[in-house]
Structure 1
Amino acid sequence: MLALLFKNFIRSKGTKIGLLFLICVGFVSLLIGKQFQDKQQNNIKEAVSYQKEHIARNAEYHKDEIGPLLYYIKFSLVNKTFPINSLAIGQRDVNPSIQNVTIRGLEGQKYDAELNNPNNLLSGNIDFSFVLIYLFPLLIIAFSYNVISEEVESGTWKIVSTQSKNIFLYILQLFFVRILTLIGLLSILLFTAALFLQIPLDKAFFAFYGLGILYLLFWFSICFFIVSLQKHSNFNAVILLTIWLFLIVILPAGINAYIVNRYKVPEALELTLKQRNAYHEKWDMDKTATMEKFYKHYPQFRTCKLDEKAEFTWLWYYAMQQMGDDESAEQSKELESKLQQRNHFSEVIAQFIPTLHTQIQLNEIAKSDLKNQLLFLNETSKFHEKLRLHFYPKIFDNAPVAEQKWDNYKIETFSDTTQINFTKAFLPLLLFILLLIGFGWRNFNTKAFF
């Protein structure tokens, strides 16, 4: 029976066109993922080459004094891009994966981003997660909305019902054929991606795969419930498309607007200006007051005394830079806190919205979510502090430039080691699937079949 149902389903022109369309779009999404992957790899190669050349050139030009040399030199920190990130680009298309910082004020550098066409950012990337979240459900709706009603409306349902020993089992088989077809298509695309994008078949890949299967089952369970109401095909199609529009577009947009208004984030530009103003005003202030604040922050450098007779010293200059960061620290913590609150609220509310939950979890598995970006910014602060503590003694003692082993300063990489929580990722979808199937089963058992 299943083989016959499958042949009947796959022979339909609509089925063939729908599957072919999704395969084509799926492969396009993999090509976009490949372009993104290549771009990230090229950026890292260029960063390695640039830092080496940049340091060598400046060391050659500023031979006499290390203070002005370190004013210009930039050091790079890379947010590691995992191959699976190509399937769910997430935050990586708007936030840089490489931070280039000097040892000057951090807050003025921390939120620098790559120049991008705003129209491209608005439309976003058609990555695989987009195909899975937005397009697969449409095909599921197209395949399932008239599972029974089409035969009722064509007059063949009575023949089917009289020939079938168990009508409910027959309906389950109709859904099973469609589920098997779509999961097969998802499997083909994902395992092709694993080969094409060189994604290792590790825990992250199978978490992504498992979440994708559960997401498809969620939409099939919605269709199963709507079909169980035993309405006409037009009614089913309209209701299912309304649900798609509500869950995919309207509800996430509304929640995003609510989060943005509830957790208003201070502008990164405002924070940068605060840091720069705090630094610039120190030029007109008493040097002693600036140095006392600096010594309070770094008591280990109190032995480095300021030359009162000198109009300018690098000790005083970098103390001013440090004060710019210190005086904007409160705004910086506020920004980080509000972003953390946004992320936490999104995760909590998404547990009750399967589409949003799936998108957030796919990004989290791919290490392209907001949490990853916040961890990277925090690591950037640690990286910058490490550079300062390493170079401050050399600047204050005016260590000879030629004696420094500049070739040893390589770019560093931050790797997000956050573990995948399978319960957190799978449980909300499982509960919704069981709930919808339960209601659908009840409808089929309490109502006469047409």
Structure 2
Amino acid sequence: MLSLIFKNFIRSKGTKIGLLFLLCIGFISLLIGKQFQDKQIHTIEQARVYQKEHIARNAAFHKDEIGLLLYYIKFSLVNKTLPINSLAIGQRDVNPSIQNVTIRGLEGQKYDAELNNPNNLLAGNIDFSFVLIYLFPLLIIAFSYNLISEEKESGTWKIVATQSQNTFFYILKLFYVRILSLIALLSILLFIAVLFLNIPFDTSLFVFYGLGILYILFWFAVCFFIVSLQKHSNFNAVILLTIWLFLIIIVPAGINAYIVTKYKVPEALELTLKQRNAYHEKWDTDKNETMEKFYKHYPQFRTYKIPADKEFTWLWYYAMQQMGDDESAVQSRELESKLQQRNLASQSIAQFIPTLHTQLQLNEIAHADLGNQLLFLKETSKFHEKLRLYFYPKIFDNAPVNAENWEKFKVETFSDNTKISFAKAFVPLLLFNLLLIGFGWFNFTRKTV
């Protein structure tokens, strides 16, 4: 019986077209992922070459003052991109994966990003996560909406009922064949991705695959429940498409609007302007006042004093830069706090929205989520502070430029070591699946099929 059901299903022209269409779109998404991966690798390699040449060129040109040299020199920190990021690009197409900073004021540099076409950013990337979240459910709906209703409407269901010992098990077999087909398609696409994108067989990949299977099962569970109501095909199709529209577009948009409204974030541009204004105001402020604030921040540098006979010193200049950061610290902490609140709120709410939960978890697995970006910004602050503490004594002592080994300053890499939580990833989807299957089973047993 099962082999006959499978042959009947796979022989359908609509089934072949649907599976082939999704396979083609899936492969296109892998090509887009490959382009993204190649761009990331090329950009990082360019950053390494540029930093080496940039430092060497400036060190050769500004030989006399290390303070002037460090005004220009930029140091790069890379946010490590995992190969699996090609499957779920997430926020990596908006937020930069490389931070280039001087030892001057940090807040004016932290939120610099690459120039991108805003229309492209609005449309987003058709990565594999998009295909899985948006398109797989449509094919599942197309395969399942009329499983019983079509045969009832054509008058052949009575024949099926008399030939089958248990009609409920027959219905399960119909779903089983379709579930296997979609999981097989997912497996094929991910196997191609492993070979094509050089994704290692690690925990991230297996959790990604597990989430994909549970997400497919969720949509089959939705269809199973709707079919269990035993309505007409048109009713099933309209209801399922409404659910798709509701869970995929309307609810996420509503939640986003709610979170943006509740946790209003100060503009990064406003923070940058605050830092720059605070710095520029120091040109007209008493130098001793500026220095006292600087010594309060860095008491270890109190032994360095401004010479009375000099109008300009690098000690005073970098103290002004530091004060720009200090006076914009409140806005900086507020921005970071609000972004963290947004991240936590979205994750909490998403536990009750399977589509949104899956999307956020796929991004988190690929280190392409807001949490990863916040960790990268924190690491950028630590990286910048480390550079300041290393170079400040050299600047204040006016150390010879040639005495420094500039070749040792390589591009540094930040690795997000956040561990994957299996319970956090799987339990919400698993509970929704069991709940929908339970309600569907109750409907089938309550009504005569």
User: TM-score range with shorter-chain normalisation?
Assistant: over 0.9
1:8-23 to 2 correspondence within 5 Å?
Answer: 8-23=8-23
Partner of 1:290: 290
1:191-230 to 2 correspondence within 5 Å?
Answer: 191-230=191-230
How many angstroms does 1:154 deviate by? 1.2
Can you list the C-alpha shifts for 1:165-188, whole angstroms capped at 9, x where unaligned? 010000000000000000000000
Partner of 1:382: 382
Alignment of 1:318 onto 2:292: no
How many angstroms does 1:13 deviate by? 0.6
Partner of 1:31: 31
SS of equivalent to 2:306 = coil
Partner of 2:171: 171
How many angstroms does 1:6 deviate by? 0.6
Structure 2: how far apart are the matches of 1:370 and 1:47? 23
Alignment of 1:261 onto 2:261: yes
How many angstroms does 1:309 deviate by? 2.0
Partner of 2:398: 398
Structure 2: how far apart are the matches of 1:214 and 1:429? 6
Alignment of 1:97 onto 2:67: no
How many angstroms does 1:204 deviate by? 0.2
Can you list the C-alpha shifts for 1:30-84, whole angstroms capped at 9, x where unaligned? 0000000000000000000000000000000001110000000000000000000
How many angstroms does 1:308 deviate by? 2.3
Partner of 1:355: 355
Return the letter of the residue paired with 2:435. L
Partner of 2:415: 415
Unaligned ranges ≥5, structure 2: none
Partner of 1:426: 426
Return the letter of the residue paired with 1:213. I
How many angstroms does 1:3 deviate by? 1.1
Partner of 2:300: 300
Alignment of 1:76 onto 2:44: no
Partner of 1:134: 134
Partner of 1:244: 244
How many angstroms does 1:307 deviate by? 1.1
Structure 1: how far apart are the matches of 2:312 and 2:95? 37
SS of equivalent to 1:336 = helix
SS of equivalent to 2:126 = coil
Structure 1: how far apart are the matches of 2:256 and 2:234? 32
Structure 2: how far apart are the matches of 1:227 and 1:283? 74
Return the letter of the residue paired with 2:439. F
SS of equivalent to 2:200 = coil
SS of equivalent to 1:106 = coil
Structure 2: how far apart are the matches of 1:423 and 1:308? 65
Partner of 1:158: 158
Return the letter of the residue paired with 1:359. Q
Can you list the C-alpha shifts for 1:227-272, whole angstroms capped at 9, x where unaligned? 0000010000000000000000000000000100000000000000
1:110-125 to 2 correspondence within 5 Å?
Answer: 110-125=110-125
SS of equivalent to 2:147 = coil
Partner of 2:337: 337
Can you list the C-alpha shifts for 1:276-298, whole angstroms capped at 9, x where unaligned? 00000000000000000000000
Partner of 1:436: 436
How many angstroms does 1:323 deviate by? 0.2
Structure 1: how far apart are the matches of 2:4 and 2:395? 80
How many angstroms does 1:387 deviate by? 0.2
Structure 1: how far apart are the matches of 2:394 and 2:125? 46
Partner of 2:62: 62
Can you list the C-alpha shifts for 1:375-414, whole angstroms capped at 9, x where unaligned? 0000000000000000000000000001110000000000
How many angstroms does 1:153 deviate by? 1.0
SS of equivalent to 1:50 = helix
Structure 1: how far apart are the matches of 2:147 and 2:272? 58
Give the total of aligned pairs. 449
SS of equivalent to 1:448 = coil
Structure 2: how far apart are the matches of 1:131 and 1:2? 29
Structure 1: how far apart are the matches of 2:304 and 2:194? 56
Structure 1: how far apart are the matches of 2:89 and 2:121? 12
TM superposition outliers: structure 1 runs of 4+ over 4 Å: none
Partner of 1:274: 274
RMSD: 0.4
Structure 2: how far apart are the matches of 1:76 and 1:324? 22
Structure 1: how far apart are the matches of 2:241 and 2:257? 23
Structure 1: how far apart are the matches of 2:31 and 2:63? 47
SS of equivalent to 1:9 = helix
Structure 1: how far apart are the matches of 2:228 and 2:53? 68
Structure 1: how far apart are the matches of 2:333 and 2:264? 14
Structure 2: how far apart are the matches of 1:191 and 1:359? 20
Return the letter of the residue paired with 1:334. E
Structure 2: how far apart are the matches of 1:126 and 1:338? 29
Provide the TM-score with structure 2 as the length reference: 1.00
How many angstroms does 1:155 deviate by? 1.1
How many angstroms does 1:25 deviate by? 0.2
Structure 2: how far apart are the matches of 1:89 and 1:2? 39
Return the letter of the residue paired with 1:292. E
SS of equivalent to 1:76 = strand
SS of equivalent to 1:416 = coil
Structure 1: how far apart are the matches of 2:12 and 2:306? 84
Return the letter of the residue paired with 1:259. I
Partner of 1:370: 370
Can you list the C-alpha shifts for 1:176-214, whole angstroms capped at 9, x where unaligned? 000000000000001110110000010000000000000
| Residues 301-310 or 74-83, more deviating | 301-310
